[in-house]
Amino acid sequence: MTTPMTDAHPGLQVRGLHAGYPGRPVVQDVDLSVPAGHVAAVVGPNGCGKSTLLRTIARLHRPTRGAVLADGTDIWKLTQRQVAHCVALLPQSPRAPEAVTVAGLVRYGRHPHQGLLRQWSREDERAVRDALEATGTTALAGERLDRLSGGQRQRCWLAMVLAQHTPVVLLDEPTSALDLGHVVDVLTLVRQVAAAGRTVVMVLHDLASAARYADTLIAMKDGRVVAQGPPQEIVDEALVKELYDLEADILRAPGDACPVVVPRARG
């Protein structure tokens, strides 16, 4: 697995966060606290502000109000480079440099740690190797990224984010466009990342996998958090109705009683 974060760190706190565009608030009054080693999944209908929330946490978008504390520090008091030491984000559809190899891509994850006098340290090397191993992409290291399948490519991107060695990892729909097997692969990997002591916040579309793999579920609608807590406690018919305006049955998975949402036909 990835190198465990030795010191317990405070994880991620979001306080009274408002964000959006002039005249169009997108995220309103969001409070979150995700401790180290936890996986939080943000769910909600399209356009509810999930991605904007994630971008704001990653310092890509300036909040109109409120604060984001990664590792105990307000990220707007840091430089972009310092933020890259504590928060890593995998965007929804990232674009890689032309003709980059898998190892090349993962090496870019070390960029925040490098400088004119520190271009390729042993630590960089170790981080890249670990990230490749953790994601099972070791055998692909020399391949060109654009010649891989979607599932392989997504694992490579994850490897890059892991190599960045940040206490907080943000993933924007890491499983979109993947088949069920790869979805499980990626989410299992996410659990392992958290087990190593990192904080993971991810946007997910699929309520069922969110419920199964997240410690905390954050349900958003119209820019506000409508429910927050362990999936077993908060996923019910009312929540599904509120989020998606959908009648659904909530079943319990045999074994761990994890909620499974079965929508009823509309009309």
107 neighbors 163 (Cβ within 8 angstroms): yes
Least Å from the CB of residue 25 to other proteins: 12
Least Å from the CB of residue 265 to other proteins: 30
Residue 207 is a binding residue for other proteins (CB under 8 A): no
Interaction residues for other proteins, span 38-77 (CB under 8 A): 55, 58-61
Strand partners, 27: 19
Segment interacting with other proteins, rule: CB under 8 A, options 33-41, 110-118, 234-242, 251-259: 110-118
Residue 80 is a binding residue for other proteins (CB under 8 A): yes
141 neighbors 103 (Cβ within 8 angstroms): yes
- 3-state SS record for 4-52: CCCCCCCCEEEEEEEEEECCEEEEEEEEEEECCCCEEEEECCCCCCHHH
Residue 129 is a binding residue for other proteins (CB under 8 A): yes
Among 153, 198, 212, 221, binds other proteins (CB under 8 A): 153
64 vs 228, which CB is nearer to other proteins?
64
Residue 150 is a binding residue for other proteins (CB under 8 A): yes
Residue 118 is a binding residue for other proteins (CB under 8 A): yes
Residue 134 is a binding residue for other proteins (CB under 8 A): yes
Among 5, 100, 208, 260, binds other proteins (CB under 8 A): 100
Q: One-letter amino acid identity for 257?
A: A
Of residues 153, 141, 214, 221, the one with CA closest to residue 182: 153
How far apart CA 253 and CA 215 sit, in angstroms, is 16
